[in-house]
Amino acid sequence: MSEFARTRAMRQFYRNVFTRFIDLPEADVMPANITAEIFSFKSTQLTALEPMIRAAKTGLDAEKDAALKDMLCAVVLANNALNETFVGEEQTLSADAITQLTDYVVSALKADGNINYLVAAIQLLFRVNEISSALFLINNNLSLVSNSAPVLKILLLICLMENDFNQAMVVIQALTADSALIGEDPMTLLMITCGIYRLGGFPDSYIDFRSLNASESAVVNESWDYWIEKKTASKTTVLVTCDSEDYFKHAVPMLYSLYETNRDVLDVHVHLINGNDEIKHSLMALREQLPALNLSASHEQITENENKPVVTAARRLVFLRHALQTFNTPVLAINAGVLVRKPWVASETPLMLLQTESSPFWEEVFAGFIYATPGGVAQRYFDHVVSFIMTNLASGNHVPGLEQVALFACLDKLSPEDRLAIERVERSVMLNSQADENAFCWVSGSADASFQAYKTSLSGTYQR
């Protein structure tokens, strides 16, 4: 793990997930308005805050006073990295800022090396992608941090990103030996469960992997409520699944972009989760307005509660399997929050899956863009995927990322020949957040201006 290339390249979300909360009870001696700016409002304004921090009266002796204030300045600098649109080497902090942050941390630890400062220093260095420095502190203070939940979680994430499963097993054992270290943290439970699976186990709680042991996948076919029947089978069908909240905001502009770029190449099917009459009438109108898309639509109702996002994401794959069985066309399932920029070029592969080398293995397959042809490899694959999903939903395992875990784990159920038949494409080629003119789709991201301009142009042309 000397270079930590995969950890350094992963998206900022994962460097923030175990570092958003910095526990510094020593800061209680600081004025409340300053700590609120730093910890509650996540201020990044070091130029304005540092003089206030330095001038505050703490009642501490000189060394402890300086240590606290250095650590608070480091937190302010690290707050810049809470922007989660950045990935890997696209740093949100300059090299000079990272050097300054490191200097603050080193100075604080030299003056007062208490456990809270040590843990905070590891968190802050990890957040700003100073992986080697964070691990240096862990390795040189292992006895002190061996019972620190944030440190163990960071260490486990690094081990899993770098495929160091022997060390991951040691960390998993340390975490599971004391349930208080895990709490109800969904990301840690996800890492532990998927880590155990990668180590050869078949966990049965949080996420149930036991369906992968079955010789055959038992999936009960469901009936579906069709608002507009699908009547054509001459073109690849784009499957767009969304709920009522996303329909007008995302799905309608996406349909405009499909008509603009692919009206002669692609048909469209919209699958609504918890739709309503307004959406149904809108779809009827769009079918008349955009006839070349041969628009069809279906609908299902699910319970409105805190589990709805998980169920919606999972049910999208359940309907994809149904579409492969009944549409008699290749299916291109795409998330609603994109705009299509280029004509679709038919692929000869039976199954195309997107990947990102910098993603953790449980995100090996991106659920937001899948191309599949009926029968064969794709049918076998989605039989396993849907069996995995339905087993977990039936058990109440409404786990964020369940559909991603199903997609990665069920690859193991395919034969070597089937796996070789799958085309793997880098995600940015098809879904690009940098407004790359060669990408098939744009997604809203760091190139928001271009995305929004295109969206506005489409709405101006087609919206009635």
Domains of the chain: 5-198 (no CATH), 225-462 (3.90.550.10)
pLDDT band at 165 (very low <50, low <70, confident <90, very high): very high
Q: What is the mean pLDDT of the chain?
A: 94
Looking at residue 56, its pLDDT comes to 98
Per-residue confidence at 310, pLDDT binned at 50, 70, 90?
A: very high
Tokens of 116: 């809270």
For range 57-82, the mean pLDDT: 97
CA separation for the pair 81, 92 (Å, rounded): 5
Helix, strand, coil percentages in the chain from 3-state DSSP, rounded to 5 = 55, 10, 35
371 phi/psi in degrees, rounded to 5: -110, 130
Which pLDDT score, from 0 to 100, does residue 92 have? 74
What is the predicted pLDDT for the residue at 221?
Answer: 84
pLDDT tens profile 315-329: 999 999 999 999 999
Rounded to whole angstroms, how far apart are CA atoms 60 and 241?
58
For residues 44-64, give the mean pLDDT.
97
Q: Which of 220, 161, 190, 214 is nearest to 412 (CA)?
A: 214
Cβ burial 111-123 (10 Å sphere, 16+ → b, else e): bbebebbbbbbbb
Average pLDDT over residues 14-30: 97
- Judging by DSSP bridges, how do beta strands 236-243 and 266-273 pair with one another? parallel
22: DSSP letter: -
d(CA 293, CA 426): 27
Tell me phi and psi for residue 233, to 5 degrees: -145, 30
CB 103 within 8 A of CB 83: no
User: What does DSSP say about strands 369-372 and 351-355: parallel, antiparallel, or unpaired?
Assistant: antiparallel
Alpha helices in 141-243 (DSSP H): 142-145, 149-161, 165-176, 179-182, 186-198
Rg (alpha carbons) of the chain, rounded to whole number: 25
Q: How far is CA 407 from CA 121, 200, 353, 363, in A?
A: 36, 17, 10, 8
Residue 363 and residue 279 in contact, taking contact as beta carbons nearer than 8 Å: no
- pLDDT score recorded for residue 91: 65
The Cα 364–Cα 411 span in angstroms is 10
Say which residue, 215 or 433, is predicted with more confidence. Answer: 433
Q: Distance between CA atoms of 210 and 212, rounded to whole angstroms?
A: 5
Eight-state DSSP code of residue 40: I
According to the model, what pLDDT value does residue 415 have? 96
Per-residue pLDDT of 172-197, as tens digits, reads 999 999 999 999 999 999 999 999 99
**Statement: residue 85 has pLDDT above 70:** no
User: What is the mean predicted confidence (pLDDT) over 421-426?
Assistant: 96
Residue written as tokens 């628009």? 295
The pLDDT value given to residue 447:
65
User: What is residue 217's predicted lDDT score, i.e. its pLDDT?
Assistant: 73
- How far from chain centre, in Å, is Cα 216? 30
- Select from 403, 369, 371 the least CA-distant residue to 385: 403
Is the entire prediction scored with pTM above 0.85?
yes
Give per-residue pLDDT as tens, 104-115. Answer: 999 999 999 999
pLDDT at 270: 98
DSSP states of 253-265 as a string? Answer: HHHHHHHHHHTTT
Q: Once rounded to an integer, what is the mean pLDDT over residues 411-435? A: 94
Taking CA atoms, 453 is separated from 253, 320, 439, in Å, by: 12, 31, 16
pLDDT tens for each residue of 264-281: 999 999 999 999 999 999
Instruction: Tell me what the mean pLDDT of segment 65-78 comes to.
Output: 98
Query: Rounded CA gap, 288 and 292, in Å?
Result: 9
Residues 121, 125, 126, CA angle at the centre, nearest 5°? 115
pLDDT of residue 357: 82
pLDDT tens digits, one per residue of 391-407: 999 999 999 999 999 99
CA atoms in the 13 A half-sphere facing the CB of 354: 20
Residue range 106-141, pLDDT digits in tens: 999 999 999 999 999 999 999 999 999 999 999 999
Would you call 464 helix, strand, or coil by DSSP?
coil
